[in-house]
Structure formats: C-alpha cells, structure tokens
Amino acid sequence: MIKRAKPKAEPLPEAAPGGPRHVAIIMDGNGRWATQRGRPRLFGHHAGAKRVREVVEACPEVGVEYLTIFAFSTENWKRTQVEVAGLMSLFRRYITKETRSLSEFGVRVRFIGDRVRLDDKLIKLMNELEEATAHNTRVHLTIALNYGGRDEVARATKRLAQDVADGRLDPENVDEETLPKYLDTCVLPDPDLVIRTSGEARISNFLLWQSAYAEYEFIDTLWPDFTREEFAALCASYGGRDRRFGGVKT
C-alpha cells in the first residue's frame, strides 16, 4: 500500500505583538463529542488526545512559549472505573507514542499534580518523558495529571510548614513570593490566557493561584473539534487586551 504523506498545514497568521507567552487550556467536551456520534466517552478522549499535538505544534508559530493542559483532575477519579482506567491507559499510550515526535519538535514536557495515586508504570513513563525532553526549549508543555489547584496549594503549604518547623523558613518572611516557590509550577511563569472549551464558564480547580490575573476565553467548541486556527485566533485577540493587573492605564 502506498502511504500518502500527511498534507502540510497552511501557515498561521503571523504572531501578533503582545500575544500570550503562557496559555493554559481546560480541554473539555470529549464526552459530549463522542455521545453526539453515538460512541463511548473514551472515543472522545482519544480524539481529544490527537488535538494536543496540533496545538503544541502551533505554539511557536503564534509566539506561545508555555502551554499547560488539564488532562486529569483530582476530581476525575469520581468517573466510572472504565473511564478512569481507559484514560490512564490512554496517557500511557500517548507518552509511549509521542515521546519521539515531542522531542524532535523541541518540546520540553513537565507534569504537575500529585503522582502518589498514579500507577507505577505511568509514573515511570512520565519521569522518562521529562528526562528525555529536559534539554528542549522550543515549547514548554506542562501536563496536569491528577492535578487540582486546591490540592496543589495544600501540598505546597505542607512543605512550607515543614520548612518553618525545621527552622529553614522564618514565618515573618512569608509573603506572596514565598508560596509560589512551593507550587508544582514553581519554574513556570503565570498563565496569561486560560482557554476552556465546550461552553462551560468555570475554572474547575485549575491553576487557582497562578491565574489570578489571567485573561479567560470560554468557547463553545468541543475539545476534539478545536483547531490550530482557533487557537491562533484566540492568541491574536489576546494581543489586543488591556491588562492592568489592578492598576490604571497610564
């Protein structure tokens, strides 16, 4: 059989000045997308996983250096055992399958969230992917897996309290700059733009501390239908926003 080459994607419009450096995405709507097609929910998650590559590869074109995606929340364990097991298997397969292309594209992958509840095989694959891509700088992809903003703040506070108890930190010196150093995201800049697909206008425990001054885009598209063009358009419209961080325009 002759294998046809993948058609080359059309170039995206040039990155607008003042575009977002860090975009975070709540990839919602996989289940509804599958249901609309009379298929099981996992079919939607598999379709959703394919969109991740497209968006990652669009990042350099639209000037985005950091992309953070919400893959599995601390609340997602409440789903059926079949869906949870299917998602865990999807994450294992995704990492195994995508390591090479992510690395070749220059993506540095990091995971945030609590690894304690994840299975050993998945944790090993996550560690290997982080190590294999540690030298890359073109796109910083952070995958939130068993992540919850409140859980992250609680875990950070526990470590901070331990440093106080051990005499490494003076409580008098704890300020707004201290806590972020204990968060899973300590090496990342705060997100500039948070996108949620599928028409829901809530943040569902995602990057609570980090998104205090982010701009939000809640769009109707279901995640498996999200395109690089839509991503580029949202980044371009961000470039026109007037962000004052609580101050006034001078």
Choices 21-29, 163-171, 226-234, 237-245 (CB under 6 A): range interacting with ligand FPP: 21-29
227 contacts ligand FPP (rule: CB under 6 A): no
User: Considering only CA atoms, which of 218, 180, 213 is closest in space to residue 196?
Assistant: 218
Are the beta carbons of 61 and 15 closer than 8 angstroms? Answer: yes
Residue 20 interacts with ligand FPP (CB under 6 A): yes or no: no
Q: What is the DSSP annotation of 13-59?
A: PPPPTT--SEEEEE---HHHHHHHTT--HHHHHHHHHHHHHHHHHHH
111 DSSP β-pair partners = 143
Coil, helix or strand at residue 79: coil
Our CB check for ligand FPP shows the closer of 105 and 223 to be 223
Size of the site for ligand FPP (CB under 6 A): 20
- Percentage helix, strand, coil, to 5, in the chain? 45, 15, 40
Return the number of the residue (28 or 152) whose C-beta is nearest ligand FPP.
Answer: 28
Q: Which of 21, 57, 65, 76 binds ligand FPP (CB under 6 A)?
A: 76
Member of 19, 20, 48, 113 binding ligand FPP (CB under 6 A): 48
- Rule CB under 6 A: say whether 49 interacts with ligand FPP: yes
Place of tokens 């309290």: 161
Catalytic residues, by residue number, are: 28, 76
Residue selected from 22, 30, 232, 236 as contacting ligand FPP according to rule CB under 6 A = 30
Q: Interface with ligand FPP by CB under 6 A: which residues?
A: 27-32, 41, 45, 48-49, 52, 69, 71, 76, 90-91, 94, 143, 198, 223
